[in-house]
Amino acid sequence: MRPWTQRLFRPAEEQEAQTLTDVSAHAGADPIDECQRGQQVRVCGTVRSIAVRPECISPTVEAEIYDGSGHLTVVWTGRRMVRGVEVGRTLVAEGRLTCPDGQPRMYNPEYRLLPRETA
């Protein structure tokens, strides 16, 4: 099969992963699956889910982002919402990577939203 026909017949998940990987690279971000605990990183991905945890001592907003290589949870403490952050939106986040319970997390990162047509 020729390369263009291989792209045509790839599963949708694989096509989405490749698109997100390209967007992430264009944003100058580190692939999530290559980031190490304790590193200062820049990641770029699409928000897959959002959870608001108002019952904690300090409320938090958690957003899971996916960049085509892996998942990362971004956590904003002391908030019940983060303007513009919604499922399907692509963002760039910069901060220190932690891995409590083996799950990559970034707390209170600097972030910027990418235009909707980018992703």
Domain range for 59 is 3-118
What's the whole-number mean pLDDT along residues 98-116? 91
Total of domains in the chain: 1
Distance of CA 79 to CAs 49, 51, 62, 65, Å?
16, 11, 10, 18
Confidence of residue 119 (pLDDT cuts 50, 70, 90): very low
The pLDDT assigned to 12 comes to 72
CA dist 58 and 119 (Å) reads: 32
* Mean pLDDT, the chain, whole residue set: 86
What's the whole-number mean pLDDT along residues 57-78? 92
CATH classification of the domain holding 61: 2.40.50.140
pTM above the 0.75 mark?
yes
Confidence of residue 6 (pLDDT cuts 50, 70, 90): low
The residues, ordered by sequence, that sit 6+ positions from 34 with a Cβ below 8 Å of its Cβ are 69
pLDDT digits (tens, 9 = 90+) for 28-63: 889 999 989 999 999 999 999 999 987 768 899 999
Residue 77 confidence (pLDDT) above 90 = yes
